[in-house]
Amino acid sequence: MRVWYRVIYGDTDCGGVMYYGNYLRLFEIGRTELLRSAGLTYRQIEEGRGLILPVVEVQVRYKAPARYDDLLAIETRLAEVRPHRVRFEYLVSSEEGRLLATGHTVHAPVNREGRLTRFPEDLLTALQKICR
């Protein structure tokens, strides 16, 4: 799934490029919209299921800088679904198609007490459909 994001001034550092930590926010935007496009929202998962999906692993590789007012494509895919974890992969590119960053996040379902749990079977099935 692809979503677009325009770099705002507040995204940049004193060097005039997008601050490195803001790429994680781009990943979150992509991930949120991918789930939403499949009829799932974080709100439904958290409030309706009592599950939270914290990031337990993250990796970013920076290829080229994004700058103020650049229009970025955030491509997100659900790459792996297991009973105790999911893995999302990301590509961030310029409007012209230049690859700026790649990365992934791994999320583990935890209950309201913060304990690792399994995805309920119907949610696991819904996530597996997105993964295909």
Q: Where are the domains of the chain?
A: 2-131
Task: Quote the CA–CA distance of 118 and 14 in Å, as a whole number.
Answer: 43
Cβ pair 96, 78 in contact under 8 A: no
| pLDDT for 132 beyond 90 | no
Q: What is the CATH number of domain 2-131?
A: 3.10.129.10
Band of the pLDDT at 115, cuts 50, 70, 90?
A: very high
What single-letter DSSP state applies at residue 10?
A: G
- The neighbour count for residue 117, using CB atoms within 10 Å, is 17
pTM: 0.95
Q: In what order do the strands lie in the sheet with 55-62?
A: 2-6, 71-82, 85-94, 99-107, 55-62
Beta bridge partners of 58: 105
Mean pLDDT computed over every residue of the chain: 96
3-class SS at 114?
Answer: coil
Query: Would you state the structure tokens that stand for residue 19, as one six-digit string?
Result: 């601050």
**Does residue 77 register a pLDDT over 90?**
yes
